Chain A
Amino acid sequence: MAEKGPGGLDPKRRDFLVKMAQGAALAGTGGLLWDYILRSEARAAPFALRPPGALAEDDFNAACIKCGQCVVDCPPKILKLEPAGGALPIGTPFYEARTGPCTMCPDIPCMKACPTGALSPNLKKIEDARMGLAVIDIENCLSYKGLRCEICHRECPLKGKAITLETHPRQTSKHAMFIPLVHSDACTGCGICEKACPTDIAAIRILPHKLVQGKIGEHYRLGWTFDTEVTQDFKQAPQAAPSSTPEPGGKPGGLDYLNEGGL
């Protein structure tokens, strides 16, 4: 090459490489920004109540085409599509339990309307839907205050399964307390209880499972329940029990330290 530009490159080749780098930088920054907007839009609000059969939130966000056919086909017209600028992911269907709970249509028309499978056709019975879980604010629940309310129990479409009453007898001058208990193995999260709750702000609310539900570790063995298999977990560990020999450094071992009143 006769002419060499900066960096010992042919100027044309250099121009081309610079253009490529500029294009890549533009695409990269633009793409990252776009990606960021998408993610923050999708994951900002994990408290949306989705129609029955909805996939897990991330899968649902990916699969929903935002067409609103579930909204149109919903007989009680409780579903809405989130408009732009709202708190929930844009264009996705949701319902608000306090103003419009799911009426649990047995034929699940909203799910049947979904063209993409974001509302999964694997849901065969509406009782198997898990739209959310009812959670009771025991500080504000009238029943916990000793009043005869139990409206949530009476209104629950799965009364006796999703919500049961537990009686707590009190002294003779007071009637017993009738405490509503929610059972996650039956509660569909329809929200009829939240709608019915007579307190100013509902004391029973529907929330997505992952916001409220805990999980005990696999290692817990509830020996007093019939369905817990009897195991040999109480065998001594293969290693010797904590030894009482002093640790290197002259201090007594942990057990001795406690047993000998070292505290």
Chain B
Amino acid sequence: MSTLPPFTKADALASVEKLHHRSPGAKLWSWRYIILRRISQFGILLMFFGTAHWGWQVAKDVPLLIGNLSASKFIGLIPLTDPFAALQIFLTGHALQSESLIGAAVVLGFYLLIGGRMFCAWACPVNMVTDAAGWLRDKLGIQPIFHLPRTLRYFILAATLVITVISGLAAFEWVSPIGMAHREIIFGLGMGFTALLAIFLFDLLILKNGWCGHLCPLGGFYSLVGKSAQLRVRFDKNTCTHCGECAKVCPEPQVLNLKKLEESGYVFSGECSNCGRCTPICPEGSLKFDFKPLIRSHNMHADAIAVQRRTR
């Protein structure tokens, strides 16, 4: 283990200064992942909506994307199933048909590869609501009333499975604001928007990142799935000045524990949603999206260069 480059407080302050004096173009460019995420989230919704209401097809009688986030069929061929919903239905004692099992395997495999909580930041419609609440909360400078442990979601996840077995009903699917939002946008409005409003107010006024970061069992499920993710944020300890700007914008700041990042060289926690807030904000470019095998070789390479510089 090589020693860290001796960055001082002044270096960190200089980094922050650098951030504040970005050109408007650079500032706009730093929003690229947010814009891409919104395109992804709206695009997914639009594909579902367009297929349901405007009969969007890729070819004759081959609909584009039928269903919603719980289960769907892409181009009439690839079944997609929410693996958490499938797990719950399995626990009710119902033997799932092969189509939903294949669909769950496809989705699970995809998120095992790229990071489970990519779903949260790139597909889930509730994320748009909680992002808006978080943004407004920062603007208004609202202080927290109380704190909850972020591990709470794993307890709620466990409770979901236990209650599913007891009640014989898919416990989260019946109360999920994610499902409500998607269903009611695609299949007709009901009281589901009140759940979204409640989440917005909860995140805005009560607990920062309350729903996505503390409560949602689907987020907890995908956090566990994301442990094996290959697409991760690479951390370059040789350039980081510890200015802390990344943790300020991160909705899950516990994943940016710099001590642990220095050891691993990348954000390894499954709770990271690959939302891309930290990578453009980093004034030193120490955080970058990369694939795990590439991260390893890159870090070895960067270390070698740093050692060379120091020994020169």
- Which residues of A does B touch, CB under 8 Å? 27, 30-31, 34-35, 37-39, 41-42, 58-59, 61-63, 65-69, 71-73, 80-86, 89-91, 113-118, 121
Interface locus among B124-132, B173-181, B202-210, B271-279? B173-181
B305 interface residue per 8 A CB criterion? no
Instruction: Given A27-B159, A72-B66, A80-B187, check contact A116 B71 (CB 8 Å).
Output: yes
Of the stretches B161-169, B243-251, B286-294, the one at the interface is B161-169
Chain A residues near B180 (CB-CB < 8 A): 83-84, 90-91
CA gap between A72 and B195 in the complex, in Å = 25
Most buried by B among A42, A65, A113: A65
Does any Cβ of A come within 8 Å of B232's Cβ? no
Q: Which B20-71 residues have a C-beta within 8 angstroms of A?
A: 51-52, 63, 66-68, 70-71
Q: CB within 8 A of B89: which of A63, A81, A121?
A: A63
Contact of A62 among B67, B81, B89, B183 (CB under 8 A): B89
Contact present for B169 and A61 (CB under 8 Å): yes
Check A84–B191 contact: CB distance below 8 A. yes
Q: Which of B93, B170, B183 has the most CB of A within 10 A?
A: B183
* A63, A81, A82, A89: the one within 8 Å of B94 (CB): A63
The verdict on A65 contacting B163 (CB below 8 Å), with A83-B190, A91-B183, A115-B71 known, is no
B72 CB–A CB distance under 8 Å: yes
Q: List residues of chain A with CB within 8 A of the CB of B51.
A: 72
> Are the CB atoms of B168 and A73 closer together than 8 Å?
no
Q: What are the residues of chain A within 8 A of B99 when measuring CB–CB?
A: 115-116
Name the distance in Å between A34's Cβ and chain B's nearest Cβ.
5
Partner of B96, one of A73, A80, A91, A117: A117
Chain A residues in 8 Å Cβ range of B174: 37-38, 41-42, 89-91
Assess the B192–A115 pair: CB atoms within 8 A. no
Query: Could you tell me if B169 and A62 are in contact, using CB atoms closer than 8 angstroms?
Result: yes
Contact A65 B71 (CB under 8 A): yes
Tell whether, in the assembled complex, residue B89 and residue A67 are in contact, meaning their CB atoms are under 8 Å apart: no
- For the complex formed, measure the closest distance between the CB of A258 and the CB atoms of chain B, giving whole angstroms: 52
Contact for A68 among B92, B100, B187, CB less than 8 A:
B187
CB pair A116 B179 closer than 8 Å: no
Q: Which of B73, B179, B189 is the one whose CB lies under 8 Å from A66?
A: B179
Whether B66 lies near A69 (C-beta < 8 A) is yes
List residues of B whose CB falls within 8 A of some A CB. Answer: 51-52, 63, 66-68, 70-73, 79, 81-82, 85-86, 89, 92-97, 99-100, 103, 155, 159, 162-163, 166-171, 173-175, 179-180, 183-184, 186-192, 194-195
Is B94 in contact with A83, judged by CB distance below 8 angstroms? no
| 4 closest Cβ pairs, A-B complex | A83-B190, A85-B191, A67-B71, A62-B92
- Whether the pair B92, A63 counts as a contact (CB closer than 8 A) is yes
CA distance in complex: A31, B165 (Å): 12
Given A42-B174, A65-B82: A72 and B89 interface contact (C-beta under 8 Å):
no
- A71 B96 Cβ-Cβ under 8 A: no
With A38-B163, A62-B89, A63-B89 as contacts: A115 and B179 at CB distance below 8 Å = no
Knowing A39-B169, A63-B94, A67-B71 touch, does A113 contact B187 (C-beta < 8 A)?
no
The answer to whether A65 and B190 touch across the interface, beta carbons within 8 angstroms, is no
Whether B190 contacts A86 by the Cβ 8 Å rule is: yes
Whole-angstrom distance between the alpha carbons of A34 and B96 in the complex?
A: 24
User: Are the C-beta atoms of A69 and B92 separated by less than 8 Å?
Assistant: no
Check if A84 sits within 8 Å of B97, measured CB to CB: no
User: How many Å lie between the Cα of A124 and that of B103 in the bound state?
Assistant: 24
Interchain nearest-CB distance for A108 vs B (Å): 15
Say yes or no: B97 contacts A115, CB within 8 Å.
yes
| Chain B residue contacts of A58, Cβ below 8 A | 168
Given A68-B183, A83-B191, does the pair A117, B95 have CB atoms closer than 8 Å?
Answer: yes
Cross-chain contact A73 with B94 (CB below 8 angstroms): no
Which listed residue, A67, A71, A83, A116, touches B189 by the CB 8 Å rule? A83
Name the residue on A nearest B53 (C-beta). Answer: A72
Q: Are A91 and B179 in contact (CB under 8 A)?
A: yes
Q: Is the CB of A42 within 8 A of B169?
A: yes
Since A62-B169, A113-B66 are in contact, a sample of 5 more A-B pairs with Cβ atoms closer than 8 Å, ordered by chain A residue number, is A62-B168, A65-B71, A66-B183, A84-B184, A116-B99
Identify which of A34, A39, A81 contacts B187 (C-beta below 8 A).
A81
Docked-complex contact B70 and A67, CB < 8 angstroms: yes
